[in-house]
Amino acid sequence: MEKEIRAIILGAGKGTRMRSNLPKVLHEIFAKPLIGWVLDSIKKLPYKTESIVVIGHGAHDVDEYLNANYKYVRTTLQKDQLGTGHAVAQAVPMLHGYLGTVIITCGDTPLITTSTLQKLIRFHEDNGSDLTVMTTKFDNPTGYGRIIRSTKDEIMKIVEEKDANEYQKEIKEVNAGVYCLNWAKIRKAFNDLKNNNAQGEYYLTDIVKWARENQYRVMGYLCEDNEEIFGINSRQHLAIASNIMKKRYLDELMTKGVTIVDPNSTYISPETQIGIDTIIYPNTYIEGKNKIAKKCKIGPMAHLRGNCEVAEGCKIGNFVELKNAQIAKNTNVCHLSYIGDAELGSHVNIGAGTIFANYNSITKEKKRSVLENGVSIGSNSVIVAPVQIGENALVAASSCITKDVEANALAMGRAQQKEYKNWVKNIKEKK
C-alpha cells in the first residue's frame, strides 16, 4: 500500500511588512506565488500526499489561486488571527479519522526542498519519534526560538528569544518552523493549547511542551542548509529569496552542462529544463515552465515568459520575448521580436522586429499562429493571428499578414511606396 502523508500549510498571515494589498503567500518568485513553491515541494514527495492550506487574510484570492492550480489541495479558514497553534487547530476537523504522519510548514518559505522534507520524514520514522522539529543553525540566531536538547539528544523545549537567558541566547540551533507529527498521538495537543501569554495567542511551539508532559518522544532533525527555512516577511526578503533560488538553480544547470555566461545577470526559473551545451547569454530572464533543448543559444537580453519549448539547435536572439511558443529544431528568432501563442517549425527564420499579434484587447481572446518548416519572415513584419503559413513560404519585409499563406508562396502585405520629387526642396523654398 502506498504510504500517505498529510501536510498543513500555514498561509493566513497578512504580511504587514510587505505593505501590500496582496496576501503575502501570493507574492511571486519567477511568476509563481510563494505558496505554490511550498506546495510543489510537498507534492514531489514519493508518497500519496494531501495538503490543507490554512487561509485568512485575503482568503478569497488565495482560495481562488489554489482552486485554479492545485486540485488536490483543500483550504480551511482561520477567521481570527489567534496564533500559529490556533491556525493548525482549524485543520484538525479536516483530518478526522486520519492516524498517519502529518507535516506542518509555512506558506512563506519558498526555498524548502522536497529532499529536505523527505529527510525529515525518514528521520522521524527511523527514530521512533512522536514529534520531530526541524532545526537549523545560525552564527547569529537573533530573533529565533532556541532549541534546548537533553543529554539523550531529545528536544526538551523551544525558548523564544524574549524569554531566553544569557546562556540560552548563545545557542546556535534554532527552530526552523517545520514539524513532523505522529497524528494519532499529537493531534490531541491542539485541544489543550493555552493562550496565557502577553499576546493572548496559541503558539504552535507549545506542542513540544505538551508532548513532553504527555511522555511522547520529541526529536530534532537538523537541516544543514539554513537558507531553506528562510521566511518572507518583506520586499527585501522576497528579493533575497529570489536570488538564493536563482543561484541554486544556475549552479545546478552549470553542473549538468549548461553554459551560463554571467550568472549575476541571469535569472532562470527552476521549472525550466535546459539541455547540455546550450548557452545562456547575459541579462536573460526565464520564468514559468519551459523546455529548452541542447545546443541552443538564448539571449543576451531574452525573455521567456512560460510554456515555451525550444528544440535543439535554435537561436533566440537579443531582445526577443517568447510566450506560450513551441519552436522546432534549428530555428532562428532574431533580435527585437515577440513570438506569442505560436508554433514554429524547423529551419524557420524570423527576421528582426517581427511581431506576432496574438491578443484581441476587445474580446480578450488570444489566437494562435502556425509557421511550417522552412518559413522565412522578413524583418519588421506583423503576423496577425490566427494564421497558418505553409512550408518554405517567404514573407516579405514590413508585411502585415492577416490571411493564411500557401506553401512555397511569397506573401507581401504592405502599402505601395510613393515618392514625391523635390518635396523637401519645395518646403524649404517656401519658408
**Residues involved in catalysis:** 335
Which three cell numbers mark 273? 529544463
Which three cell numbers mark 364? 480578450
| DSSP H or E stretch at residue 159 | strand 155-159
Amino acid occupying residue 372 = E
The CA distance from 315 to 366, in Å, is 25
Residue 248 DSSP one-character state: H
The CA distance from 248 to 245, in Å, is 5
The CA distance from 156 to 393, in Å, is 75
Give the chain's length. 431
Q: What phi and psi values does residue 93 have, to the nearest 5 degrees?
A: -60, -25
Residue 405 DSSP one-character state: B
Q: What is the dihedral of CA 58, 241, 131, 210, to 10 degrees?
A: -60
**Is 203 within 8 Å of 150 (Cβ atoms)?**
no
Helices (H), ranges, 345-402: none
The CA distance from 36 to 9, in Å, is 11
Angle at alpha carbon of residue 179, lines to 173 and 183, rounded to 5°: 145
**Is 62 within 8 Å of 53 (Cβ atoms)?**
yes
Q: What is the dihedral of CA 40, 46, 47, 51, to 10 degrees?
A: -10
The CA distance from 169 to 163, in Å, is 9
